[in-house]
Amino acid sequence: MSLEGTQDCLFCRIAAGSLPAHKLHEDDHILAFLDIHPIRPGHALVIPKAHHVWFEDLPEALATRITTCAQALARGMKRAYGVERVSMFYTGIHVPHAHAHVVPMHHVHDVTSAAYMAEGPERFATPPQATGAALQSEAATLRAALK
Ligand SMILES: [Zn+2]
C-alpha cells in the first residue's frame, strides 16, 4: 500500500469522502460508485480505498474483495437492466488508481476491441487464428516471464 499521491489522486479523494460520488457499496477497504462517463447506464467502478496504481499490485485479499463486489453488482445489474451479461475489466486508463469497471452489456460491442470489429459493429469477428508455432512461442515467452 502507498499513500503517495493521495492529495492529487481523484479516486483517493473520492475514497476519503472529500469529493462526492454516487456510491453503490462501501466498506473499510473498497468503494463502488457510478462512473460519471458511463458506457451504459449503471456503469460502475470498484476501487480500493488505498492508493494502488496497477491492479496487478493489489494484495490478493483486496483484489478478491473487489471481484466479489463486482460479482454482486453484476447480479444486481442483470436484475435491474435485464441484460444477459455484465463485463468487468481494468484498463489502467484515465485515473492512475486501480479501478475495476463493471458494465451491464446491452450489445456485444459495449466493451470491445477493434480486433473484434473487423466485420463491422453488427458482427462479432474472431481475430485470425494464431499458428501453433506462434502460440508455442508466446507461451514460452510468458512462462519465462512468470519465473
Ligand atoms: Zn489514489
pLDDT band at 140 (very low <50, low <70, confident <90, very high): very high
CA 39 – ligand 1 centroid, Å: 23
Pull the grid cell for residue 130: 494464431
Catalytic position from the list 43, 51, 52, 99: 99
Number of Cβ atoms within 10 Å of the Cβ of 103: 24
109 C-alpha to ligand 1 centroid (Å): 30
The pLDDT score that the predictor gives to residue 5 is 55
Q: Express each pLDDT in 39-82 by its tens digit.
A: 999 999 999 999 999 999 999 999 999 999 999 999 999 999 99
Tell me the β-bridge partners of 87.
103
**99 a catalytic residue:** yes
- Collapsing DSSP to helix, strand or coil, 91 comes out as coil
In this model, does residue 21 exceed pLDDT 90?
A: yes
Measure 52 CA to ligand 1 centroid, in angstroms.
6
In the chain, the domains with their CATH numbers are 1-111 (3.30.428.10), 112-147 (no CATH)
Check if the beta carbon of residue 83 is closer than 8 Å to that of residue 106: yes
For residues 72 and 5, what is the distance between their CA atoms, to the nearest angstrom?
A: 30
Say how many Å lie between the CA of residue 145 and the centre of ligand 1: 28
Extended strands (E) in the chain:
23-26, 30-34, 44-48, 85-89, 100-105
pLDDT of residue 1: 46
Q: Which residues pair with 105 in a beta bridge?
A: 85
Residue of 60, 64, 56 whose CA lies nearest to 46: 64
Cα 27 off chain centre by: 19
Residues surrounding ion ligand 1 at CB below 5 Å? 9, 11-12, 51, 97
Q: Tens digits of per-residue pLDDT, 90-139?
A: 999 989 999 999 999 999 899 888 888 888 888 888 888 999 999 999 99
- Spacing, Cα 51 to ligand 1 middle (Å): 4
